[in-house]
């Protein structure tokens, strides 16, 4: 059986039935100075030094082509395919060029024009082998072997390997032996692995439950003693309290009877038999599948229990973190205010009030469509304000703002219930004089203090659009924009009149090709994006003007290899000669092997180079350069770590590592100590049961004791060497008096600092827009700073422009590139540029850090973007992460976590679950763990060049008011509760909105497809874990209590089908309609499964009833983010 699937990226069902012209000059030529005689529908033509168009070359009217010269690193070879006719297989070809049709589908092409993946099956239809034809950087086949035991289970899951011969997609006989040989003597830059597979030990029962999970590498084999273990039990007598909801609280008068709860016990790779219960996680579920208790054990088998309490309708009413030891409580008790999460519901099971520890009650009002229309936190209640949200007929957010009304929620809900009109319509003529461009029919239609965001969809004829259509952009805008956000106004916080317009223009694939936006300086920003046929962003040009003066133009180009791996970033500012900012090289399994920085001769030579080495698990091991080198050790040293925690960090330059950090952790993966030699630094820490730092001893100066008595998780003061004054908080849990600096801080509606003052010493203010973007900082201690999406002004003049690798600093109108060398979490360790006269590398600054981020200057400079790459606020000694400011001196946030409900077992002021050596919080909202943290840093780094406005990031879509309400409403809805039946429509809607705007259909190599996923069901994760388990550690059991394993995309889909009880389709209903996911089965108009389709609600104008359109629209391939969404949805249903 042979099945061929031929796909064009983005919209596989769309073909243009025109044969390729003879004599086509293919992209595989990659000539340095190409000569073109015939136009073949190229969107761009490039050469390194020149491009020659011969007589007769003709571009038809209506076509737009970008012709340019500059560095190019892409290499292509002829595509070869010789599939094994004696095997069952499915061959999938993805074409990366236009005009492919039935007549020329088998024409000769290059690897840059077509990618092929072949999956071979046995007689039972089970996958035997997946081959990515010529998928490695050196155009070798990448092979994923699969083997089964006598029961049809994948006992051994093998890492993919690269075939040394036969790079044509053919079936590889003896693949397992070839894989072993490859990792025994690997190609350059690939780590040799003894045991390049993960072994699973299954339960001896028909359930085939996983009891033990190994990973690649000697230490992590089943015989090595450092594996992940699972046990499936039931509760015993008096093991779990039985909580019952009362009229105003809950009480526990007994325990669950033995055998009435499912109990799952997990142990990470650090656990040994001598630990007993220490380092284990227990999860108890009732017969309805609801989690009632998660319990972790610290050193000495000290239990940390988090209880989930439900009412008779299965609503999650209370979450009791480890600090709660009482057997009964009411909502008036201090223990409730300080530690307990509480939720109130209406008759439709909607959350109408919720309580986050340390904050006052938050309230919500919904319309008859279950859409959140009014919400307020405790501070807004105190000031008589409500946040409002208005929708259009399709359920899209169109207007948000502040409503002045001191009425109670119980008064407003009936008023909203009684309204007959539930949405707004476009009012392009502004007939109601509101300035919003919408009608003003839904509540509130009076008492509007200020708008915050106004969003427009479908067309460009909205009121107030002052931007003309694009003229001469590299790609023509699409005429059909139905369903797309076309523009928005975002208001400046604190002003009811100052607002900034942004408009998005799309191509026919729904990709942003131009963004036009006002900035707060009075100027404009235009960003033009160029996409290739494969959906890769190849160029982005930003034109920026401020209050006056000429435009600043930043032109950035990107090079990718034949599999979509980014090879290089090139940039030119204001027409200066183009500079290659970075060039990347990869080893044969797709890991970054080498990065070179700064070339002025089209890549002929570079100023700096860093080499990378990984261990058996795929974890970063070494980065080596002449300026900054780092070596991370995991499973060796004084306190070896097998779960991904770093045991030692060595650093220096070249191959010399004179400085060594040694780390120690408790059984909850919290850092106990970080002590360095060479550069001498140390921090010793202890914690309370909620993860609050109880004491810190820095550099042996003595014990600093943190006081929380009577204030829950809120810090009162610190005594000892770090002695502070008192901290005082507002009703939202924000520190309004900083005890360390003695300053008074005022906050805006987003809980961001707006004013900072200390009489006679400091007067400082911040200006933000309604999305939380920082626009300006005014201080009596420093020059005024203005921020315009990566362009930073100081004293009214452009100071620097952020780039992926550092910044371009303005030197009298000429821009000089500065580069940052960072460690594994993005901490800037070394900054340099090129000397203007000698052209040699010139060091500018060097920094070291204590574990929790306090700076230790090695060589002073002017760079203020330091720890985690965040800007230091000198006046406060804190770092601006976006959603919150972090104080590295004391190792805490001073504002409650906006996503506190995702981390119920720990306090909402902790920094990275008290593991700053391995984890990162990129924006002050959510902790990423271990290798996820390193991956997140790399993503942030690649997006730092904000002149492209990052069209892949929906938060950037035209200052993205599409998701603006999320930044405001998110704190008024249940963002994440792993169990329970809480309405999360708004959160889900925003998530789906994010997915809708994520480009799909891009092809990546198998190595890149072996992605990592978190799961909150350890059993499911273990059963469906596939091949590349390397690269993830057991997440901190305090925060997530989950096991993270590597799985291929196909195995993740298989896992979803299992989780869905064998059904191949999943439908998730949203406020817009429904999203339909087909996991397996027949393709839809050429788009194979897994794919996704959307159907939207319509309203019968006569009856007012809503119904779903039968037409689901085109299908698009499912993305990794959608895999996550489906799994979380199914787990919740389960």
Least confident range from 467-476, 525-534, 630-639, 1011-1020: namely 1011-1020
Report the pLDDT value the prediction gives residue 1, as an integer from 0 to 100. Answer: 45
In this predicted structure, which of 141-150, 584-593, 978-987 has the lowest mean pLDDT?
978-987
Question: Does position 783 have pLDDT exceeding 80, yes or no?
Answer: yes
148 within domain boundaries: no
- b/e string for 754-774 if b means 16 or more Cβ within 10 A? bebeeeeebebbbbbbbbbbb
Question: Collapsing DSSP states into helix, strand and coil, what is residue 943?
Answer: coil
Domain contains 544: yes
Q: Once rounded to an integer, what is the mean pLDDT over residues 29-40?
A: 74
995, 1026, 1060 - which closes a domain: 995
The verdict on 936 and 811 lying in the same domain is yes
How many separate domains does the chain show? Answer: 4
Whether residue 868 is found in the same domain as residue 897: yes
Average pLDDT over residues 958-968: 33
Parallel/antiparallel/unpaired status of strands 44-47 and 66-69: parallel
Residues 477 and 502 in one domain: yes
Please report which residue ranges of 419-455 form alpha helices under DSSP H.
none
User: Does some domain include residue 247?
Assistant: yes
Q: Using omega within 30 degrees of 0 as the cis cutoff, is the peptide bond preceding 500 cis? A: no
Same domain, 449 and 323: no
Judge if 519 and 377 occupy the same domain: yes
Any domain includes 71: no
* In a shared domain, residues 306 and 412: no
Instruction: Check residue 956 and give its pLDDT.
Output: 35
Cβ–Cβ < 8 Å for 627, 821: yes
307 shares its domain with 366:
no
Give the residue from 926, 944, 962 where a domain finishes.
944
pLDDT at 1123 (0 to 100) = 85
Judge if 796 and 894 occupy the same domain.
Answer: yes
Domain boundary among the residues 345, 367, 387 is at 345
Contacts of 943 (CB under 8 A, 6+ apart): 950, 952, 953
If asked whether residues 835 and 909 sit together in one domain, one would say yes
818, β-bridge pairs: 807, 833
Position 662 pLDDT exceeds 70: yes
pLDDT value of position 938: 66
Q: Residue 1077: which domain range? A: 1010-1133
Non-local CB neighbours of 453 within 8 Å, separated by 6+ positions: 397, 399, 400, 401, 488, 489, 490, 491, 770, 771, 961, 964, 965
Q: Are 755 and 777 in contact (CB under 8 A)?
A: no
Residue 604 burial (10 A CB sphere; 0-12, 13-18, 19+): exposed
pLDDT by residue (tens digit) across 301-345? 999 999 999 999 999 999 999 999 999 999 999 999 999 999 999
For residues 853 and 936, state if they share a domain.
yes
Query: In terms of domains, do 742 and 779 share one?
Result: yes
Residue range 235-265, pLDDT digits in tens: 999 999 999 999 999 999 899 999 999 999 9
Give the model confidence (pLDDT) of 165-182 as tens digits: 878 999 999 999 999 999
For residue 473, what pLDDT is reported? 59
Residue 828 belongs to a domain: yes
Please give the distance of CA 729 from its chain centroid, rounded to a whole number: 30
**Choice between 186 and 996, residue whose per-residue pLDDT is larger:** 186
Dihedral Cα 994, 995, 998, 1001, nearest 10 deg: 180
Task: Report DSSP state, residue 910.
Answer: B
Question: What band does 477 get if pLDDT is binned at 50, 70 and 90?
Answer: confident
The dihedral region occupied by 1060, where left means phi > 0, alpha psi between -120 and 50, and beta the remainder, is alpha
Q: Can you say whether the dihedral through the CA atoms of 224, 230, 235, 240 is positive or negative?
A: positive
Average pLDDT of the chain, as a whole number: 86
The answer to whether the beta carbons of residues 570 and 557 sit under 8 Å apart is yes
Mean pLDDT of 622-642: 96
Q: What is the mean pLDDT of residues 822-829?
A: 97
**Res 1109: pLDDT:** 62
Query: Which of 573, 496, 563 has the alpha carbon at shortest distance from 540?
Result: 573
* 249 belongs to a structural domain: yes
pLDDT in tens, 114-124: 999 999 999 99
Is the per-residue pLDDT at 684 higher than 50? yes
Mean pLDDT across 1089-1105: 68
CB atoms within 10 A of CB 811: 11
Q: Based on the domain organization, do 741 and 638 belong to the same domain?
A: yes
pLDDT, one tens digit per residue, over 914-926 is 999 999 999 999 9
137 domain residue, yes or no: no
Cβ burial 670-702 (10 Å sphere, 16+ → b, else e): bbbebbbeeeebbbbbebebbbbbbbbbbeeee
- Cβ-in-10-Å burial (0-12, 13-18, 19+) of 347 comes to exposed
Residue 1071, domain member (yes or no): yes
Contact (CB, 8 A) for 695 and 706? yes
């Amino acid at each position: 059986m042979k099945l061929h699937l031929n796909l064009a990226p983005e919209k596989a069902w769309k073909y243009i039935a025109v044969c390729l012209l003879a004599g086509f000059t293919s992209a595989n030529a990659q000539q340095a100075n190409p000569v073109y005689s015939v136009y073949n529908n190229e969107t761009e033509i490039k050469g390194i030094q020149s491009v020659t168009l011969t007589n007769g070359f003709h571009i038809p009217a209506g076509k737009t082509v970008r012709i340019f010269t500059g560095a190019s690193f892409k290499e292509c070879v002829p595509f070869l395919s010789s599939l094994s006719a004696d095997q069952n297989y499915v061959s999938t070809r993805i074409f990366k060029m236009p005009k492919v049709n039935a007549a020329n589908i088998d024409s000769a092409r290059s690897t840059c024009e077509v990618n092929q993946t072949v999956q071979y099956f046995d007689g039972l239809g089970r996958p035997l082998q997946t081959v990515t034809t010529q998928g490695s950087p050196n155009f070798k086949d990448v092979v994923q072997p699969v083997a089964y035991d006598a029961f049809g289970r994948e006992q051994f899951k093998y890492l993919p390997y690269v075939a040394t011969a036969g790079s044509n997609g053919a079936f590889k006989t003896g693949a397992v032996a070839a894989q072993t040989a490859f990792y025994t003597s690997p190609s350059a830059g690939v780590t040799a692995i003894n045991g390049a597979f993960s072994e699973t030990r299954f339960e001896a029962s028909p359930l085939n439950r996983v009891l033990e999970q190994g990973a690649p590498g000697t230490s992590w084999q089943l015989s090595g003693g450092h594996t992940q273990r699972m046990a499936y039990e039931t509760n015993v007598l008096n093991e779990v309290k039985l909580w019952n909801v009362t009229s105003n609280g809950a009480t526990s008068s007994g325990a669950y009877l033995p055998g009435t709860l499912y109990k799952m016990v997990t142990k990470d790779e650090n656990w040994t038999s001598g630990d007993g219960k220490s380092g284990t996680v227990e999860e108890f579920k009732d017969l309805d599948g609801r989690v009632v208790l998660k319990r972790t054990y610290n050193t000495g088998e000290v239990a940390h229990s988090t209880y989930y309490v439900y009412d008779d309708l299965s609503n999650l009413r209370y979450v009791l973190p480890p600090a709660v030891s009482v057997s009964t409580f009411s909502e008036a008790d201090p223990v409730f205010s300080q530690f307990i999460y509480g939720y109130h519901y209406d008759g439709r099971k909607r959350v109408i009030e919720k309580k986050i520890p340390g904050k006052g009650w938050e309230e919500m009002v919904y319309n008859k469509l279950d859409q959140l229309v009014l919400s307020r936190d405790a501070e807004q209640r105190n000031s008589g304000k409500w946040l409002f949200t208005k929708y259009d007929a399709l359920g899209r957010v169109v207007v948000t703002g502040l409503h002045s009304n001191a009425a109670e929620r119980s008064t407003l809900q009936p008023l909203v219930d009684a309204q007959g009109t539930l949405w707004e319509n476009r009012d392009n003529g502004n007939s109601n004089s509101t300035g919003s461009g919408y009608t003003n029919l839904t509540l509130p239609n009076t008492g509007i203090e200020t708008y915050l965001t106004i969003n427009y969809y479908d067309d460009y004829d909205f009121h107030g659009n002052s931007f003309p259509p694009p003229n001469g952009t590299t790609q023509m805008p699409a005429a059909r924009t139905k369903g797309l956000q076309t523009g928005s106004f975002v208001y400046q916080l604190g002003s009811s009149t100052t607002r900034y317009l942004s408009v998005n223009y799309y191509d026919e694939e729904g990709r942003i090709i131009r963004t036009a936006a006002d900035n707060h300086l009075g100027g404009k920003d235009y960003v033009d994006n160029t996409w290739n046929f494969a959906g890769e962003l190849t160029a982005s040009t930003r034109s920026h003007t401020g209050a006056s003066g000429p435009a600043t133009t930043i032109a950035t180009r990107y090079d990718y290899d034949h599999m979509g791996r980014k090879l290089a970033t090139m940039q030119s500012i204001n027409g200066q000669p183009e500079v290659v900012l970075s060039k990347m090289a990869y080893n044969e399994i797709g890991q970054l092997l080498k990065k070179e920085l700064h070339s002025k001769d089209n890549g002929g030579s570079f100023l700096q180079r860093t080499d990378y080495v990984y261990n058996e698990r795929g974890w970063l091991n070494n980065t080596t350069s002449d300026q900054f080198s780092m070596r991370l050790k995991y499973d060796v040293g004084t306190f070896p770590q097998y779960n991904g925690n770093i045991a030692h960090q060595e650093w220096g330059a070249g191959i010399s590592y004179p400085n060594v950090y040694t780390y120690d952790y408790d059984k909850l993966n919290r850092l106990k100590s970080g002590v360095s030699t060479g550069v001498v630094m140390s921090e010793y820490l202890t914690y309370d049961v909620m993860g609050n730092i109880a004491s810190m001893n820095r550099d042996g100066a003595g014990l600093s004791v943190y006081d929380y008595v009577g204030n829950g998780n809120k810090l009162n003061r610190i005594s000892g060497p770090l002695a502070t004054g008192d901290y005082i908080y507002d009703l939202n849990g924000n520190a309004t008096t900083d005890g360390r600096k003695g300053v008074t801080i005022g906050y805006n509606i987003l809980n961001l600092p707006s004013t900072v003052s200390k009489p006679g010493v400091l007067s400082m203010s911040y200006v933000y827009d309604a999305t939380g973007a920082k626009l300006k900082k005014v201080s009596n201690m420093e020059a005024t700073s203005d921020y315009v999406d990566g362009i930073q002004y100081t004293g009214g003049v452009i100071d620097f422009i952020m780039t992926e690798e550092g910044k371009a600093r303005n030197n009298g109108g000429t821009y000089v590139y500065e580069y940052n060398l960072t460690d594994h979490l993005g901490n800037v360790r070394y900054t340099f540029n090129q000397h203007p006269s000698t052209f040699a590398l010139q060091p500018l600054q060097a920094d070291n850090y204590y574990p929790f981020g306090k700076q230790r200057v090695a060589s002073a400079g002017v760079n203020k973007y330091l720890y985690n790459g965040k800007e230091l606020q000198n006046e406060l000694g804190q770092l601006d992460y976006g959603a919150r400011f972090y104080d590295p001196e004391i190792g805490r946030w001073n504002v409650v976590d906006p996503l506190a409900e995702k981390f119920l077992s720990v306090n909402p002021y902790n920094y990275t679950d008290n593991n700053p050596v391995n984890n990162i919080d990129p924006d002050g909202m959510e902790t990423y763990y271990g290798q996820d943290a390193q991956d997140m840093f790399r993503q942030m780094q690649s997006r730092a060049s904000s002149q492209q406005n990052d069209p892949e990031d929906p938060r950037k879509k035209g200052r993205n008011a599409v998701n603006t309400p999320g930044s405001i409403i998110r704190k008024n809805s249940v963002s994440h509760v792993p169990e329970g039946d809480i309405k999360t429509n708004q959160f889900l809607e925003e998530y789906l909105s994010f997915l809708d705007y994520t480009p799909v259909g891009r092809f990546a190599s198998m190595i890149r497809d072996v992605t990592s996923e978190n799961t909150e069901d350890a059993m499911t994760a273990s059963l469906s874990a596939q091949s590349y388990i390397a690269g993830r550690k057991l997440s901190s059991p305090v925060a997530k209590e989950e096991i993270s394993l590597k799985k291929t995309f196909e195995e993740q889909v298989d896992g979803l089908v299992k989780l869905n009880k064998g059904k191949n389709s999943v439908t998730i209903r949203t406020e817009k309609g429904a999203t339909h996911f087909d996991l397996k089965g027949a393709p839809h108009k050429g788009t194979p499964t897994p794919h996704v389709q959307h159907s939207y609600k319509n309203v019968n104008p006569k009856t007012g009833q809503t119904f779903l359109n039968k037409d689901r629209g085109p299908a698009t391939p499912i993305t990794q983010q959608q895999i996550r969404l489906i799994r979380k949805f199914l787990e919740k249903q389960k």
